[in-house]
Structure 1
C-alpha cells in the first residue's frame, strides 16, 4: 500500500504542553551538521566530514497574525518548552483514499529576536519571534523518529543513538 504524503492539514501550538499559544505559522529549524574538511594522501580531493551528533546553531521562527500575548510571553529570557501538534494528509494510491497522520514537534527554545511588526488598518501586524533551539523531538504517528538534545549529548534517529558511546566514553 503506497502512502503519498500530500500536505499538513493543520496544527496547533502549545507552551509547556497545555497552554494554547494561538494562531501562528512556524518555520522549523535546519539541522546542519558541524563539519571539518578532510584532505590529504589517500583522499581524492576534499570531504566535509560531519562530527557525530554535533549541529550548528538551529533557529525556529513563529509568525503571529497580531501582537499577541504569547509573542510577548515568549520574549522571557529563559528556556521555553513549545509543542506543535499537526496532522498530515496521506493519499493511498491503491485505494484512492485519504488518511490523516499525526506529527508532533517538541522544542526547547530561547528567545533571540522579537519583531513586533507593523500597525496598519485592517492588516495583520506580522509579529514574529525567532528562537535558538537547544532541543527538538519529533514523533510521527506516535513513534519517536528524531531527538536532538544539545545539552544532554543525545542525537537519536529512529531509535539509533549516535552519541551513546561518546557519552559513555566521556563519563556522562
Structure 2
C-alpha cells in the first residue's frame, strides 16, 4: 500500500505557448479561488451566512516576476491570446516503499494582461519586474490526471472529474 508524504516542488519551467521563458525569479504567485457569495438572512434563519455561487469566483490573477526588466515583460502586455504553461516536478516520499518519488504537474493558463510593475533599478540588483495577468482559464493536471479545469468564459468548472456546472449549463 502506497503512503506518500508530499514534500516539495523540485523545479519548474514556464512556457509561453511553446517558448521556454528565461529570467524568471524563483516564485510565481498562482491564482486564488475565492467564491463569489451572497449574504443570506431572514425569517427562520438564526443570523446570517455566506452562500457561495457555484462555479463563480472573484477576479483571479497570476504574477510572474522576472529577475530583470526584459522584452518578455512587455510582450505579456499585448493580449495575443497565448497560453502560459507551467511544468513542475513534485516530490514525495513513499513510506511503504521507503523511497522518494516524483510526479509531473502541469498548469495551463489563458489570460489577459492586467498590469506591469517595472520594479526597481539598483547597482548589482535585480529589478524584479512583475507581470500581473488576469486568469480566464486554468487547467491543473497531476501525473496526467485533470484535477481542476475552470473556464470563466465558457461556464466550465470541473473538479476531480466532476463537472460542477454541467447541470446548470444545461438549464440555461
TM over 0.5: yes
Contact 1:153 1:163 in 2 (8 A): yes
**More divergent stretch after superposition (97-106 vs 33-42):** 33-42
Match runs of 1:11-160 below 5 Å: 11-16=12-17, 18-24=18-24, 25-160=27-162
Aligned to 1:3: 4
Give the Cα separation in 1 of the matches to 2:46 and 2:143.
43
Tell me how far apart the structure 2 counterparts of residues 83 and 107 of structure 1 sit (CA, whole Å).
6
Structure 1 unaligned residues grouped into runs of 5+: none
Runs (4+) of structure 1 moved beyond 3 Å? 77-80
Structure 2: 5+ residue stretches without partners: none
Partner of 1:169: 171
Indicate the SS of the match to 1:79. coil
**How far apart are residue 78 of structure 1 and its match?**
4.2
Cα drift, residue 42 of structure 1: 3.2
TM norm structure 2 = 0.93
SS of residue in 2 equivalent to 1:151? helix
CA distance in 2, matches of 1:42, 1:98: 54
Tell me by how many angstroms 1:132 deviates: 0.7
Q: Using the alignment, how far apart are the partners of 1:152 and 1:121 within structure 2?
A: 47
What is the CA RMSD across the aligned residues, in angstroms? 1.3
Between Structure 1 and Structure 2, how many residues are aligned?
Answer: 169
TM-score, normalization by structure 1: 0.93
Deviates more, 1:39-48 or 1:55-64: 39-48
> How many Å apart are 1:37 and its aligned residue?
1.0
Q: Give the conservation status (yes or no) of the 8 Å contact 1:22–1:70.
A: no
